[in-house]
Every structure is written in C-alpha cells, then in structure tokens.
C-alpha cells in the first residue's frame, strides 16, 4: 500500500462512493468509452489492444480519470510516443503500457505517495497518482502496481471478482 489514503481523503474531502454509483461493466466497453471521451488519445499514439472481455465493478468517471492520468503522465514525464491499453481476462488485469523513458529509480518507490513527483519543471504535484492509487485500492478494492525500465513503464490494475449480482 503506497497511498496514504486517509491523508488524501482529508485533503480532497472525499469519504466514499455510494454502492449505488458503482457499476458492473465490461472492461472493453469501459476502455472504449474512455478512449472516445478523450479525443487527444487518437492523435497522441494511444491505442487499445482488445482481448477476451471481463466485467469489473467500478465508478466509471473515476476509471476514466485513472486512465487519463496514467496516459498523460506517460506522455508528459516519460516522453512516451505510444501508450497501449490492454487487458487479460484470466488475471482480471488492465494494463497501461508505454514506450517512454521509464520512471527514475529515485522516485519509483514513492509512486502513489501523496506529493511524490518526478517533475523537474514544477508542473507535476504528485496528487494525480496518489488519487489513482487511492481509488484503485480503497474504492475499487483492486491492486495496482507497475514495472519500469528505460524502454517504458507498464501499470497494471488487478480487479477482484465481482461480489454482487451481475
């Protein structure tokens, strides 16, 4: 657990998402919707690599924000020219993979911590990735992690099985 969720929730005055707002949806439909909502994705080298679909329980606006944050960070801080959104039904994982320069080792262990940033120009606050980790872990009850090298970074989100009726 990298995100100090309690501190972040106090910062943004955010307590919970009512269960009625959580939706059971196809990961493919969610990714296609996120892709269609963000017109810059098409021109900025973001693509979807579809595979066997599965259902997840999420608050769709937050998942859209997570995708946007991870893609924009890859482009802005990692200089990624291509970002691929893909998923694997067998592991219930969503992948956001880029071909950028990777996350510097000095900051990699802090990714997801509130205010952790690799931004040298003052444009990154470290709040976006803290939000990503907090929502994935506390709201979606999922796991998030990443691998990184000088050839790019892959974030993955492992969604739990759906507990309520589909």
**pLDDT tens digits, one per residue of 48-79:** 998 899 999 999 999 999 999 999 889 888 88
pLDDT in tens, 137-160: 988 999 999 999 999 999 999 999
CATH number at residue 38: 3.30.565.10
In a domain, 100, yes or no: yes
166 or 20: which leads in pLDDT: 20
* Predicted TM-score (pTM) of this structure: 0.85
Report how many domains make up the chain. 1
Q: Residue 13: exposed, middle, or buried by beta-carbon count in 10 A (0-12, 13-18, 19+)?
A: exposed
pLDDT at residue 44, as a whole number: 84
44 or 3: which leads in pLDDT: 44
List Cβ neighbours of 82 (8 Å cut-off, separation of 6 or more). Answer: 45, 46, 47, 98, 99
DSSP 115: T
pLDDT in tens, 66-115: 999 999 889 888 888 999 999 999 999 999 999 999 988 888 888 888 87
Pairing, β 23-26 against β 55-58: antiparallel
Range of the domain at 51: 5-158
In a domain, 163, yes or no: no
């Amino acid at each position: 657990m990298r995100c100090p969720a309690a501190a972040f929730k106090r910062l943004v005055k955010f307590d919970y998402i009512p269960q009625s707002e959580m939706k059971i949806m196809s990961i493919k439909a969610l990714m296609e919707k996120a892709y269609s909502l963000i017109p810059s994705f098409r021109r900025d080298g973001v693509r979807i690599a579809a595979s066997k679909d599965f259902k997840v329980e999420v608050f769709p606006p937050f998942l859209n924000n997570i995708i946007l944050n991870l893609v924009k960070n890859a482009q802005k801080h990692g200089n990624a020219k291509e970002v691929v959104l893909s998923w694997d039904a067998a592991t219930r994982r969503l992948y956001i993979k880029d071909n950028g320069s990777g996350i510097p080792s000095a900051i990699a262990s802090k990714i997801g911590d509130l205010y952790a940033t690799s931004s040298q120009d003052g444009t990154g606050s470290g709040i976006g990735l803290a939000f990503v980790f907090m929502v994935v872990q506390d709201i979606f009850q999922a796991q998030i992690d990443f691998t990184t090298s000088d050839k790019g970074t892959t974030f993955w989100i492992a969604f739990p099985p759906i507990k309520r009726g589909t």
